Structure 1
Amino acid sequence: MNKMIPVGYTWLIKHYSLTLPKMSVEYYQGNHHSGIKTVEFGDSVRKLLPNRLKVEESPFEQLKLAIKYQGIRLQTLYVIFETMDPGILEDKISQTPTSKNARVIWFLYEWLLDKRLDLPDLTIGSYVDLFDSRYYFTRLNGTRCRRTRVVNNALGSREFCPTVRKTKDVKALCDIDVYELAYGKMQAFLEVDGLINANIVDRCINYLYTKESKTSSEIERERPDKQRLRRFNQTLKNAGMYHLSKQTLIHIQNQIVADNSKVEDYRTEEIYVGETKRFGSFMDEEIHFVGPKAVHVEGMMQGLLDTHNALMSDSDMPPLMHATVVSFGLVYIHPFDDGNGRTHRYLLHDVFKLRDKRHEFIIPISATILKNSKDYDTVLNVISHPLMLQLDYDLDEDNEFRIKIHNDLHYLYRYPDFTEHVKYIYDVMDRSTKFELLSEVVYLVTFDAIKRLLNENADIPENHLNNLVNILINNGGRISQKKRDYVLKYLDNQVLQMVEDKAVNLMDDLEKHSGVDIRTLELN
């Protein structure tokens, strides 16, 4: 049996008695002689270093090992630096001030804590990157710190700095052009001879925007009135038209929420997401997520906007990953009293379009999210679950269940790892393209083709004509016995038989060509 002695971040967390989220991969010292061995340990993984790699049991040496093997984990480093004696760093760094490891640790300490170590500025040595671009998405032209000779190529700022690791799965996504794939699927289907009328593409685009507006609200379990839906629909159509700023975000939020929830600034009180549970006469709140303290919101949101601006012009990050980072950043900061979820999903489209102007249509991701809500909750829990486990708070039942937060875990909100979120959004886009986008196109094409068939063989009033088309589609191209008398008011038996046969053949052909089972589509 392998002897396992914790090293790296695990050693540091234990040494300083810290309470931090468990890492999915932890490093330990093994008793074997060569190579790094992987051991399954419950629901996590342990990597065992060979015993020849002896690591000094000191905070500085363990920091070096942690960064080398486990990467730069900003949340963890913030808490470690806040706890450890800065004199340890000053002593060790002064011994080898020009080494890369020493300079990276030195820079991270001063950057994260906004505190200066008692060390003189470096005057020699070439510059080194903070994040290794082989393993992280970074800014291509970071900011040079003359004091430490480190290039800060992090995606964000001290106020808000997300990371996305270049795991094997994520690197495989880099070359996928989601919009090009979606456009290609739609165009390939629409180019079938004889199916298309002049306005089919415009109608598809219009309906996709309407669907996204409606389903984004349904995710929040809301039933907005027609005026609010129209406002949100128009807001989505304007995505990518404006520079992202605080005032733009406030304007977007005010278009999304009810009139009595409109705001002029970010929230100034604590906030949580939950639902009221009743147990007989007893009532309680089930809390799913608590936002960062209001005092941090302004700074974090400016950090989020700074991250966005940096990614617009200076990053190797693909547009959809950029959109993911910004949109999920907003949902965790939760800057508004209402509308955060819908603004978050709007930003996915907005930033995607800001980075890529080719977009003529919208991919209806909210419909996919709604149909697979457990997957959405799972990815949100990557950040929120460990946060909620550590958060100490009370609800004031006598004051509208207002929340009071006793411990400030701002670093868990400031420095999120969005690697899993990127994988999730690519999966959602893929499913939305395959099922939601193409289904809507197929439905409209089917509707138009059958309507044209009816028009060519009978004179039917427009309101009844649309109803007949829906009846035929809903029943696989045939008219049920129950509705036959209604249909025969407008078609004789011979024409009806011909229409049914052609409708069935048409639907079979469209299904074969598109891969979409038209008979299972919901009528819209």
Structure 2
Amino acid sequence: GTMLAGYAALIYALKVEAPLRHLSCVSSGHIRGSVRQDGNWDIYDKRYWPGSLLGAHLTFAIKHETLDLLVLKRVLEAAPVKELTDFVQSTPMGGVTRRIWFFYEILTGKTLDIPDAEQGSAVDALDQKKYFTGKSILSKRHRVRNNLLGDGFFCPVIRRTEKLEEYLAKEFDKKAGQITGRAGKHLLTRAASFMLLADSRASFEIEGERAPRNRLERWGKAVLQAGKNPLQLTEIVRLHGVLIEDSRFVQIGLRSDGVFLGDRDHNEDPLPEFVGARPDNLEALLKGLFRANSRMRECAVDPVLQAAATAFGFVYIHPLQDGNGRVHRCLIHHVLAERKFTPPGMVFPVSSVMLDRMEDYKNVLQSHSGPLMDFIEWRSTVDRNIEVQNDTDDLYRYYDCTDVAEFLYACVQRTVEEDLPREIVYLQQHDEAMRRIMDFIEMPDRLAGDFIMFVRQNEGSLPSRRRKREFKALTDSEVSALEDIVLDAFHSG
């Protein structure tokens, strides 16, 4: 047999409503290696049984389980205040005890009737070996070093996984700098322009839209300005205004009604798979997100981790009536540009990689938001939208973005190791083919460029339809010589 322990035991005993993603229990027998995993369960050896008291299960959760700030807050709010107070006062010098006391007061905004801690070595709120952390700020009352990535109101958590450590060690910003440093300025400007257009096009295609060239270029210009203005509400509204050209049917800025993603039934009523935060919570949630973003920047948290926490935190809140996805992807560029992770004037086309890895992208989004749906009460409105009936703001305040950070880093890796070098090599080969075509025969640049494109699209030979139209003035031997130039230029790199 087994018995619930830690968060699972507390949720059950206190009748707390919160999405517990990982559960713990203690076996009545011995477990080889002390703990084993079985699906979403961690099963511990009987030696780990904490007993039946509230404080013992809180201690078990803090010591052995992954920090889940949403669950922890709901548990601490539901816990009897006297029992919590007695627990803290029973071992006031204990590091875990003081951390629980610290979390209670910063998450709930309430104060336990306990005098400030005057003794005991200061302890970290988060274990730096297990989590990515911010700069420590000592909470003198608890003698706890606050090294969270956000604050009690809004806070992402990123676990130190082997995969993330490997990504950080590869220093993709330096690799990108080396690749671009070897290319000439003119070539680099063109590569940046192509990659920006590719990213803009992909960002629209992810949303199922094929935007005209002028709209792509307009959005591209906004993306290119990413990181130049501080990240605050005015910048979000500015970006939204650039994205939504026709504001007759879409409200620019924070929405005043509900929003959902999903399907509709045969009556066109909502069948939501995701529900955004309530309109009355949006401004406060975004202010919390911007504070966390500023803290991560000031603490020099890795830029890709900061970009993941900020951009995905934004899309979970879903503060706009339309365009949340594109603004969310623009925020990735904002952080990477502001932190000088990307070479100056260049945008990593992460949207292109996301489009190629659409299933993975959807999965990392849904793995976070899916479990929240059971805790959102909503009703259908007259205009077939949704209206949230319960208090849900906590569901958007606290989130583990380890998986999305790994996903974003994978996108950055492909951009730096494949897309960027390939774009530069392509342009070098294209320039070589153009130069040699011009040396061989005089023709307008546009026509020479078309010749290269047609030959490459047709596996090395000029299509007969084009041969009889645009290039009918060429002799067969000239066509053959030009085809050889193109093949040679694109196979010499």
1:337 aligns with 2:324: no
Asked whether the equivalents of residues 476 and 504 of structure 1 are also in contact (C-alpha less than 8 Å), the reply is no
Q: How does 1:21-32 map to 2 (within 5 A)?
A: 21-24=19-22, 26-32=24-30
Tell me the alpha carbon deviations over residues 207-264 of structure 1, each in whole angstroms, 9 at most, x when there is no partner: 2112222221221223445543333111111122122222122212212222306767
Q: 1:461 and 1:385, CA in 2 relative to 1: closer, same or farther beyond 3 A?
A: same
Q: TM-score, normalised by structure 1?
A: 0.87
Q: How does 1:51-130 map to 2 (within 5 A)?
A: 51-130=46-125
Aligned equivalent of 2:166, options 155, 172, 177: 172
Between the aligned partners of 1:483 and 1:301, the Cα distance in structure 2 is 55
Asked whether the equivalents of residues 254 and 319 of structure 2 are also in contact (C-alpha less than 8 Å), the reply is yes
TM-aligned CA deviation for residue 91 of structure 1: 1.3
Tell me the alpha carbon deviations over residues 108-157 of structure 1, each in whole angstroms, 9 at most, x when there is no partner: 11111111222222233332221111111111232x32222222211112
Between the aligned partners of 1:227 and 1:502, the Cα distance in structure 2 is 34
Tell me the alpha carbon deviations over residues 164-215 of structure 1, each in whole angstroms, 9 at most, x when there is no partner: 0112222222223223334445666x5xxxxx8x732211111211222222
Q: 2:219 — aligned with what?
A: 232
Q: How does 1:377-416 map to 2 (within 5 A)?
A: 377-396=362-381, 399-416=382-399
Asked whether the equivalents of residues 368 and 436 of structure 1 are also in contact (C-alpha less than 8 Å), the reply is no
Q: 1:287 — aligned with what?
A: 272
Structure 1 unaligned spans of 5+: 191-195, 511-524
- What is the percent sequence identity of the aligned residues? 27
Q: 2:202 — aligned with what?
A: 215
3-state DSSP class of the match of 1:404? strand
Between the aligned partners of 2:313 and 2:94, the Cα distance in structure 1 is 34
Q: 1:54 and 1:376, CA in 2 relative to 1: closer, same or farther beyond 3 A?
A: closer
Q: 1:162 — aligned with what?
A: 156
Between the aligned partners of 1:423 and 1:107, the Cα distance in structure 2 is 29
The count of aligned residue pairs is 491
Tell me the alpha carbon deviations over residues 364-417 of structure 1, each in whole angstroms, 9 at most, x when there is no partner: 111111122111110101211001233221112xx2212121232322211000
Between the aligned partners of 2:484 and 2:216, the Cα distance in structure 1 is 39
Aligned equivalent of 1:268, options 237, 247, 256: 256
1:324 aligns with 2:308: yes
Q: TM-score, normalised by structure 2?
A: 0.92
Q: 2:289 — aligned with what?
A: 304
Between the aligned partners of 2:217 and 2:491, the Cα distance in structure 1 is 36
Aligned equivalent of 1:505, options 485, 488, 492: 488
Q: 1:267 and 1:480, CA in 2 relative to 1: closer, same or farther beyond 3 A?
A: closer
3-state DSSP class of the match of 2:332? helix
Asked whether the equivalents of residues 30 and 48 of structure 1 are also in contact (C-alpha less than 8 Å), the reply is no
1:446 aligns with 2:429: yes
Asked whether the equivalents of residues 304 and 329 of structure 1 are also in contact (C-alpha less than 8 Å), the reply is yes
Aligned equivalent of 2:4, options 6, 12, 24: 6
1:494 aligns with 2:477: yes
Q: 1:520 — aligned with what?
A: none
Between the aligned partners of 2:42 and 2:268, the Cα distance in structure 1 is 47
Aligned equivalent of 2:338, options 354, 367, 371: 354
Between the aligned partners of 1:304 and 1:33, the Cα distance in structure 2 is 42
Q: 1:204 and 1:101, CA in 2 relative to 1: closer, same or farther beyond 3 A?
A: same
TM-aligned CA deviation for residue 286 of structure 1: 3.5
Between the aligned partners of 1:101 and 1:349, the Cα distance in structure 2 is 39
TM-aligned CA deviation for residue 37 of structure 1: 3.0
Between the aligned partners of 1:125 and 1:50, the Cα distance in structure 2 is 31
Asked whether the equivalents of residues 141 and 314 of structure 1 are also in contact (C-alpha less than 8 Å), the reply is no
Tell me the alpha carbon deviations over residues 284-332 of structure 1, each in whole angstroms, 9 at most, x when there is no partner: 43423211112221111111111111111224x2111111111111111
Q: 2:36 — aligned with what?
A: 38
Between the aligned partners of 2:120 and 2:315, the Cα distance in structure 1 is 41
Between the aligned partners of 1:27 and 1:437, the Cα distance in structure 2 is 48
Between the aligned partners of 1:33 and 1:302, the Cα distance in structure 2 is 46
TM-aligned CA deviation for residue 276 of structure 1: 4.4
Q: 1:253 — aligned with what?
A: 240
Letter in 1 for 2:192: I
TM-aligned CA deviation for residue 463 of structure 1: 4.0
1:368 aligns with 2:366: no
Asked whether the equivalents of residues 27 and 45 of structure 2 are also in contact (C-alpha less than 8 Å), the reply is yes
Letter in 2 for 1:202: T
Letter in 2 for 1:269: D
Asked whether the equivalents of residues 203 and 326 of structure 2 are also in contact (C-alpha less than 8 Å), the reply is yes
Between the aligned partners of 1:298 and 1:233, the Cα distance in structure 2 is 27
Letter in 2 for 1:401: R
Between the aligned partners of 2:208 and 2:92, the Cα distance in structure 1 is 56
TM-aligned CA deviation for residue 506 of structure 1: 2.5
Moved more, 415-424 or 94-103: 94-103
